[in-house]
Amino acid sequence: MASSTIADAARGARLLYRNSWQFNLLKKLFHASQPLHPPPANRAERIAIRRLLKSELVKAWTGKKLHHCCGRPHVSYSITLAGKAHFVASELGLTFAQLCYLACGRHASRNSVIDGMPVFVDRDVDSVFFLVLKGFSSNVARKELRRKGFLEKRVWHASTITPRFAEVEKYATVLDALYLWMRAEYESRIQQAMHDPDISKVVSLFPQAAGGFAEP
């Protein structure tokens, strides 16, 4: 999947409910070290796989090897970054946008600590949302993350990562991958956006917009 389609895939995907067929399939693929060949066990699982493929949370390869039972090509499945993000977000009770917000805020706060707590400037993340996650609201994501206990308001323009963030760190590799995608997408779009007078005016309001993009 091209990096620019990750947000579109996540936006178009259905909400994953824990213990649903889609969630369980993503869980199996998330923990697999290589592509799997799970033949659908029943109609519900076939529908779940089709939905995951359509929303680009999972991708499939068709090999030359044939099934002995039906003579059909061997199909293997693997989880995409959008799929990993959806699975992790579901595990933590978050949305895709909220997980992206945490991934960005996590890196933005690496070199800023107040009273022993990592802190980041809200607008450093807001500018990324404006360009990369169009259709998602950074204000809503931030408020929900505070309500759920992952963030606290430090001052009117900054947020603190709380001890509960340890739950998110279990999925550090996914957060790193999301951050790298956001950084690459941001840098690409910022160049394109500067040619649009309306977007250029908005971007200019965030002079430290790239401040959160330190090397992981």
**pLDDT tens, position by position, 174-206:** 999 999 998 888 888 777 766 666 656 655 555
**What confidence score (pLDDT) does residue 117 get?**
67
190: in domain: yes
Could you tell me which residue, 209 or 7, shows the higher pLDDT?
7
Average pLDDT over residues 96-118: 80
Average pLDDT over residues 101-108: 90
* Residue 53 and residue 128 in one domain: no
* pLDDT tens, residue by residue, 24-83: 889 999 998 777 776 666 788 888 888 888 888 889 887 655 444 455 567 888 999 999
C-alpha 45, offset from chain centre: 24
* Residue 184 and residue 117 in one domain: yes
Query: Domain range for residue 21?
Result: 3-87
**What confidence score (pLDDT) does residue 110 get?**
74
**What confidence score (pLDDT) does residue 198 get?**
61
**pTM for the full predicted model:** 0.79
Tokens of 38: 């799970």
* Residue 29 and residue 102 in one domain: no
216: in domain: no
Relative orientation angle of helices 96-108 and 81-92, to the nearest 10 degrees: 90
* Residue 103 and residue 25 in one domain: no
Per-residue pLDDT for 14 more than 60?
Answer: no
Q: What is the DSSP letter of 17?
A: P
214: in domain: no
What's the pLDDT band for 87 if we cut at 50, 70, 90? very high
* Residue 109 and residue 26 in one domain: no
**How far is 112 from 145, CA to CA, in rounded Å?**
19
Task: Identify whether the C-beta of residue 8 lies closer than 8 Å to the C-beta of residue 57.
Answer: no
* Residue 73 and residue 99 in one domain: no
CATH code for the domain in which residue 98 is found:
1.10.10
* Last residue within a domain, chosen from 68, 87, 106: 87
| Helices of type H across 109-171 | 122-132, 138-147, 166-169
Mean pLDDT of the chain: 78
**What confidence score (pLDDT) does residue 118 get?**
77
**What confidence score (pLDDT) does residue 214 get?**
47
Of 7-21, 75-89, 114-128, 141-155, give the lowest mean pLDDT range.
7-21
118: in domain: yes
Q: Is the dihedral of CA 94, 97, 101, 103 positive or negative?
A: positive
* Last residue within a domain, chosen from 87, 117, 148: 87
Q: Give the C-alpha distances (Å, rounded to integers) separating 156 from 102, 150, 160, 176.
A: 18, 17, 11, 27
**What confidence score (pLDDT) does residue 99 get?**
93
* Residue 168 and residue 107 in one domain: yes
Per-residue pLDDT for 167 more than 50?
Answer: yes
**How far is 216 from 210, CA to CA, in rounded Å?**
14
Of 39-48, 86-95, 115-124, 202-211, give the lowest mean pLDDT range.
202-211
What is the total count of domains within the chain?
2
212: in domain: no
122: in domain: yes
* Residue 109 and residue 79 in one domain: no
Q: Give the C-alpha distances (Å, rounded to integers) separating 146 from 79, 139, 150.
A: 29, 11, 6
157: in domain: yes
* Residue 57 and residue 126 in one domain: no
The residues with which 114 forms a beta bridge, in sequence order, are: 117
* Residue 55 and residue 102 in one domain: no
* Residue 131 and residue 175 in one domain: yes
Q: Which amino acid is at 214?
A: A
**What confidence score (pLDDT) does residue 137 get?**
86
The candidate with the shortest Cα–Cα distance to 77, out of 29, 45, 33, 13, is: 29
* Last residue within a domain, chosen from 87, 121, 139: 87
129: in domain: yes
**What confidence score (pLDDT) does residue 84 get?**
93
* Residue 20 and residue 36 in one domain: yes
